[in-house]
Amino acid sequence: MKIMVVGSGGREHAIVKALKKSKKAEEIFVLPGNGGMAEDATIVPIGAKDIPAIAAFAKDNGIDYAVVAPDDPLVLGAVDALNEAGIPCFGPRKNAAIIEGSKAFSKELMKKYGIPTARYATFRKIEEAESYIDSLPEGAVVVKADGLALGKGVIIAANREEAKEAARSMMVDGKFGASGNCVVIEEFLTGPEVSVLSFTDGETVVPMVSSMDHKRALDGDKGLNTGGMGVVAPNPYYTEDIAAECMQKIFLPTVRAMKAEGREFRGCLYFGLMLTPDGPKVIEYNCRFGDPETQAVLPLLSTDLLEIMLACTEGRLKDADVRFENKCSCCVVKASKGYPEKYDTGFEIRLEGEIDGELYIAGGKLENGKLLTAGGRVLGVTAVADTLGEAVEKAYSEAEKVHFENEFFRRDIGARALAALRK
Ligand code: AMP
Ligand code: GLY
């Protein structure tokens, strides 16, 4: 099969590398990809949001199957456009991608179908948002922009004053453009967070190995929120009992709810969960694979990713062979100093020796045969081992083999998970 992957980051590199292992994969294209993927796929300079060009490329090049990885093209309807062009696709159609595209939608869905989540209210008028905030008890409040905001649309306000300021920045000052015209204000929850990516064909849900992202830029969960600075899998807080509870109370009800709403979801549904003292609750849904969760989860998959994806698309996931190794993984991300704010790029990425594990390039460009940095998050190194401790140690020692000027990375990926295991 001729396969096309839409997207450009470390997640897409991990998907490309996993697909490459399939016997059925003959040729892989990545749109736009990045220079660091050149050994694994044919890089095509078409932007992930340029949907007409993506569909035209697929048609003109006889693509048999497409995988749309990022949220933007999914929410914009890339899968619909490709399907109309006759190309089968992994990923939800636009009317299902709304589960990530609109927080007002996903909260309403959870309320209607009794899926556990933080209590909330939705507002389109600032005056109403402000008087609602005034009516809340003193303490932390969470203010969320309804639409996509590059992962930055969530503000944890320490008190009512800060919450009103946050709502104002979104609804009046237009901080996130149209994404902030509507806001969701919700109760502040506490507990360990777990990411569960799942395969679904709209009926069956098969969760992948659980994982723990590290969203803040600096050690000790300090600094700004980022796309994710590292991941360990599985997540030690996510026990078998909790997994069973999540399947019954969250995963199956969500997939059934989407189907009942006429929005059947096929693809990867990502459950961002918080294990609160009152049980697991949904913090957010994503309509796609997580980044960098994918870079830690897919190396543990022991069966054929392409076959599983095709089964999702064709509605026969219940017969698919989805298995994960009984091992642990750790992905350490190296970023450009200054990320997630301002940073310089164009530094050479140098590899010393061979990495025993996976090297995923998230932001690279080829220039005169050299691979240069070209983004905030530059690369991820994933190691797999029998124990989490060994995986973490190995990921760090392997990450020593790849360097660029201006690099920074967290030194404590997995520390919290290891502490939980020791308890
Ligand atoms: P999101 O972009 O929705 O994943 O939110 C970013 C981060 O904000 C999450 O990973 C949580 O750490 C935090 N967060 C979101 N909603 C809540 C909530 N209701 N209570 C506490 N923390 C939250
Ligand atoms: N790592 C979080 C996300 O992909 O949304």
Mutation to probe ligand 1, out of 143, 216, 274 (largest number of atoms < 8 A from CB): 274
| Predicted local confidence at residue 423, as pLDDT | 83
Distance 131 CA to ligand 2 centre (A): 32
pLDDT at 15 exceeding the cut of 90: yes
Q: Residue 152 has what pLDDT?
A: 79
CA gap 185, 62 in Å, rounded: 46
Taking residues 390-402, what's their average pLDDT? 98
Whether residue 142 has its Cβ less than 6 Å from ligand 1: yes
Mean pLDDT of the chain: 96
CA of 294 to the centre of ligand 2 (A): 9
Our answer on whether the CB atom of 290 is closer than 6 Å to any ligand 2 atom is yes
* 254 vs 155, residue with greater confidence: 254
Helix (H), strand (E) counts: the chain: 14, 25
What is the helix (H) or strand (E) element at residue 241, kind and residue range?
A: helix 240-246
Predicted pLDDT of residue 287: 98
Burial (CB count within 10 angstroms: exposed 0-12, middle 13-18, buried 19+), residue 38: middle
Closest CA to ligand 2's atom 5: 290
CA 172 centroid distance within chain = 29
Among all bound ligands, the one having the nearest atom to the CA of 228 is 2
pLDDT for the residue numbered 150: 78
CATH of domain 125-181: 3.30.1490
Element (H, E) at 233: strand 230-233
Would you say 213 and 277 are in contact if contact means Cβ atoms under 8 Å apart? no
Of 47-56, 161-170, 323-332, 371-380, the poorest mean pLDDT is in 161-170
Residues 382-387: what's their mean pLDDT? 98
The C-alpha atoms of residue 232 and residue 418 are separated, in whole angstroms, by 10
Does residue 153 register a pLDDT over 90? no
Pocket test for ligand 2, best of 291, 377, 413 (most atoms within 8 A of CB): 291
Interval between CA 151 and ligand 2 midpoint (Å): 8
Contact indicator for 198, 270 with CB cutoff of 8 Å: yes
Q: Which string of b and e fits 140-157 if b means at least 16 CB within 10 Å? A: bbbbbbbbbbebbbbbeb
Domain at 2-91, CATH from 3.50.50.60, 3.90.50.10, 3.30.470.10, 3.40.50.20: 3.40.50.20
Among the bound ligands, name the one nearest to the CA of residue 188.
1
What are residue 157's DSSP bridge partners?
141
> CATH 3.90.600.10 residue ranges in the chain?
328-422
* pLDDT tens-digit series, residues 182-215: 999 999 999 999 999 999 999 999 999 999 999 9
Query: Which distant-in-sequence residues (6+ apart) come within 8 Å of 326 by Cβ?
Result: none
pLDDT-derived band at 132, boundaries 50, 70, 90: very high
pLDDT band of 103, cuts 50, 70, 90 = very high
Residue 223 φ/ψ, nearest 5 degrees:
85, -175
Least distant ligand from the CA of 288: 2
> Is the model's pLDDT at 342 over the cut of 80?
yes
Q: Is the pLDDT of residue 17 over 80?
A: yes
- Give residue 137's pLDDT band: very low, low, confident or very high (50, 70, 90): confident
Report the separation in Å between the CA atom of 369 and the middle of ligand 1, taken as the mean of its atom positions: 41
Q: What is the pLDDT of residues 316-327, one digit of tens each?
A: 999 999 999 999
DSSP letter assigned to residue 166: H
Is the pLDDT score of 151 beyond 90?
Answer: no
Q: CA quadruple 12, 17, 23, 26: dihedral positive or negative?
A: positive
Percent of the chain scored above 70 by pLDDT? 100
In this predicted structure, the answer to whether residue 178 has a pLDDT above a threshold of 90 is no
Burial class (CB in 10 A: 0-12, 13-18, 19+), 305: buried
Establish whether residue 71 lines the binding site of ligand 2, counting it when its CB lies within 6 angstroms of any ligand atom: no
Distance CA 199, CA 194 (A): 16
Residue ID of nearest Cα to ligand 1 atom 19 = 188
Nearest in space to 411 (alpha carbons), one of 423, 401, 400: 400
pLDDT in tens, 228-276: 999 999 999 999 999 999 999 999 999 999 999 999 999 999 999 999 9
- Quick one: pLDDT at residue 180? 85
Which residues on adjacent β-strands are paired with residue 30? 5, 43
> Largest Cα–Cα distance in the chain?
61
Enumerate the CATH 3.30.470.20 domain ranges in the chain, comma separated: 193-319
Q: CATH fold of 328-422, please?
A: Glycinamide Ribonucleotide Synthetase; Chain A, domain 4 (3.90.600)
Predicted TM-score (pTM) above 0.85: yes
The pLDDT value recorded for residue 149 is 83
Please list the residue range(s) of the chain that carry CATH number 3.30.1490.
Answer: 125-181
Under the banding of pLDDT at 50, 70 and 90, the label for residue 174 is confident
Q: Output the pLDDT for position 32.
A: 98
Determine the average pLDDT of the residues in 4-18: 98
The CATH-assigned architecture of domain 193-319 is 2-Layer Sandwich (3.30)
